[in-house]
Structure 1
Amino acid sequence: MPEFGTSGRRGTGPGGSPGAASSPPPDVPSPDVPSLGGRLDAIRATASGDGVTVTVDLHGKPVGLEFAREAFTRTPSALAETVRRLADEAAADALARGLAVVTEVVPAGLLDSGSRPGHGSAPPVGSHP
C-alpha cells in the first residue's frame, strides 16, 4: 500500500523526502488511542451473587441483568434487594474505574475534595456568616 505524507504526495513525508513517514501533529490524538470520553463511555462493571449478575455503566445505569434458576427460589422482595445490592456494588466499582481513568489526565491537585466548587470550607448556599 502506498504511503501518503501530510503533503498528500505519494511516498513523501515532511519536507518532501521520499518514503519518510509523517506523524500527526501533537495535538491530534492517535486513532489507536481512545479519547478520554471514549474510555469513560466504555467502562462497565459487574457484580454477581445469589444467582444474579448485574452489569452497569459508569453512571451506575444497568446495562445487563442475568438470573440463574437459583435466583427464582427467593421471594420477590429478597430478589429485588439482591439486584439493588449488586447494582450498588457494580456502580461503586464502575465509578472507581472512571476515577482511575480521569486521574491519568487531570492534575492531582484538582481532584482533592477541598478544591472542588461546593466542597471544602465554604459555607453552604443560603447560609449567612
Structure 2
Amino acid sequence: MQHILIVDDEPGITCLFARIFRLHGYRITEASCGAVALEVNRLDPVDGVITDFVMPGMNGLQLLNRLQEKRPALPGIIVSSTPHDVGAIGPYLKVVGKPCNADTLVRMMQTMFDDPARLKETEQHPGE
C-alpha cells in the first residue's frame, strides 16, 4: 500500500484529501506544516506528497525540494490558489490551482507513480 503524506495548515483540507485518498486504497499521514512533514518522512518514509504551497515556516516547494534531496523521484503535487507563484518545478512535481477536485489529485498521483521514467530512476536508486 503506497504511503501518501498530505501537508496543509488548514485541517479541513488535509481531512478531505486524506478521506479521498484512503477511499482509493492509499495509506495516509497528515501534517500541518513542513517541519512536521519532514519528521513524519524521517520516521516513516512516504511514497508521495500532496502539499499546500503557502504555509508557515517553509512553503510547499521548499518542502518537496528538501524531501527530493534524498529521494529525487519522490512524486509531489503542490496545491496553490496562486499556481503561477510556485515557480520552477522538477520532473516529479505537479502544480494544481485551487479549488481542485480531490479525485483529480488521486489520478495525478497515480499517473506519477506509474511513470516509467520515475520507476526506472527508483530502481536505479533502491535506497529511496
Smaller-chain TM-score range?
under 0.3
RCO (CA 8 Å, sep 6+): is it higher in 1 or 2?
2
TM-score, normalisation: structure 2: 0.22
TM-score, normalisation: structure 1: 0.21
Instruction: Name whichever structure is richer in strand by fraction.
Output: 2
Which is greater in Rg? Answer: 1
